[in-house]
């Protein structure tokens, strides 16, 4: 029998098919528009139509991970089946969801809930979730699984290219002047993570430059960790399918082909990044 279930926030951008295949639980964020409409960011959400509504909104929708009842359902269901819960969270610098999970566990008076801080974002969380779900199916003991997942974090890199800075300005994550200058100069910043904090890697102005910059980051991570190859990729985008296809072709040519996921970002991510973002997470060995 499985010793634990794996849970993750909706930002991981998993599809309904993957949730069923991996046997994981998704904690959805609540998104509320200025017109009063509220939407649960579940794997079943029609993301293309959701994006359209976000782009058309003059005022940024609000997001909340602070819904204890949804978490209580996940935790209580696991406990009723005599299983632990391993929740793989975003970096706490990006979201307070990990702290909320621990707070709910304390309220339920259970010590069977464990939070693993990915120290990054959706791509890293998704790869860790896949790996964790495989351990669960193999009936690995919870403590051993947690150690293995924590160790795997060091083998994952994640990088994004943001093409539309206006949405970041709307959300207050960058200034309007910076967004204006970035759009005018057609700057496409590449960002990554260090110890859970977003850090800039390179400024580029064309898609080709951005892809070359992302390849540079991969080379840097491989050398830094003394790895030999990439064994898994996770590509995620918002309305940048052609660019992702080009990125995938280039990295496969440079680093070798491997199994991969190709996803669209969840609704909660689109609110802050806007259209055109393309990202890659990769697992090295």
**Which letter does DSSP use for residue 86 in this model?**
E
Reading the block at residue 184, the tokens are: 């005018």
Do 104 and 204 belong to one domain?
A: no
Of 279, 125, 285, 258, residue with least CA distance to 213: 279
CATH of the domain at 186: 3.30.1180.10
* 204-245 tens-digit pLDDT: 999 999 999 999 999 999 999 999 999 999 999 999 999 999
- pTM score over 0.85: yes
Q: What is the DSSP letter of 60?
A: P
What are the tokens at 122?
């959706």
Same domain (yes/no): 132, 225: no
Q: What is the CATH number of the domain that holds 125?
A: 3.40.50.10170
Q: What is the pLDDT of residue 277?
A: 95
Q: Are residues 183 and 88 in the same domain?
A: no
CA dihedral 237, 239, 243, 245 (to 10 degrees): 70
CA distances from 74 to 5, 7, 30, 69, 220 (A): 9, 8, 16, 9, 39
Q: What is the DSSP string of 168-202?
A: HHHTTSS-HHHHHHHHHTT-EEEEEEETTEEEEEE
Q: Do 214 and 148 share a structural domain?
A: no
Q: How large a percentage of the chain has pLDDT more than 70? A: 92
Q: Based on C-alpha coordinates, what's the Rg of the chain?
A: 19
Continuous H helices in the chain: 16-22, 47-56, 68-80, 97-107, 122-137, 142-153, 166-170, 176-184, 207-225, 241-255, 267-273
pLDDT of residue 172: 53
Q: 118 and 64, same structural domain?
A: yes
Q: Are residues 97 and 137 in the same domain?
A: yes
Residue where a domain terminates, one of 110, 133, 153 = 153
Q: Decide: 196 and 120 in contact? Cβ < 8 Å.
A: yes
Q: What is the pLDDT of residues 101-114, one digit of tens each?
A: 999 999 999 999 99
Q: What tokens does 180 get?
A: 């204006």
Domain that holds residue 174: 156-284
CB 141 within 8 A of CB 129: no
Count of structural domains, the chain: 2
Could you tell me the two tokens for 117? 């801080």
pLDDT range class, residue 198, cuts 50, 70, 90: confident
């Amino acid at each position: 029998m499985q010793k634990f279930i794996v849970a993750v926030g909706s930002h991981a951008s998993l599809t309904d098919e993957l949730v069923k295949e991996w046997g994981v639980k998704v904690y959805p964020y609540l998104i509320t528009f200025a017109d009063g409409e509220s939407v649960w960011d579940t794997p079943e959400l029609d993301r293309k139509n959701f994006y359209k509504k976000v782009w058309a909104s003059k005022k940024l929708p609000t997001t909340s991970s602070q819904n204890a009842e949804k978490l209580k359902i996940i935790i209580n269901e696991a406990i009723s089946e005599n299983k632990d819960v391993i929740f793989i969270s975003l970096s706490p610098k990006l979201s307070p969801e990990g702290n909320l999970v621990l707070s709910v566990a304390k309220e339920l008076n259970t010590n069977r809930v464990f939070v693993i801080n990915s120290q990054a974002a959706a791509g890293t969380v998704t790869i860790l979730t896949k790996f964790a779900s495989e351990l669960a199916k193999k009936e690995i003991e919870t403590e051993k699984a947690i150690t293995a997942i924590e160790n795997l974090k060091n083998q994952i890199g994640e990088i994004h290219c943001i093409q539309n800075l206006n949405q970041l300005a709307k959300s207050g994550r960058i200034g309007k002047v910076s967004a204006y200058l970035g759009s005018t100069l057609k700057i496409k910043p590449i960002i990554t993570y260090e110890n859970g904090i977003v850090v800039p890697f390179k400024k580029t102005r064309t898609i080709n430059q951005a892809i070359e910059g992302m390849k540079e980051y991969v080379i840097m991570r491989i050398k830094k960790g003394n790895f030999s190859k990439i064994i898994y990729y996770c590509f995620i985008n918002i309305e940048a399918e052609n660019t992702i296809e080009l990125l995938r072709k280039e990295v496969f040519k440079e680093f070798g082909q491997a199994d991969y996921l190709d996803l669209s970002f969840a609704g909660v991510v689109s609110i802050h990044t806007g259209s055109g973002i393309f990202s890659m997470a990769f697992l090295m060995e």
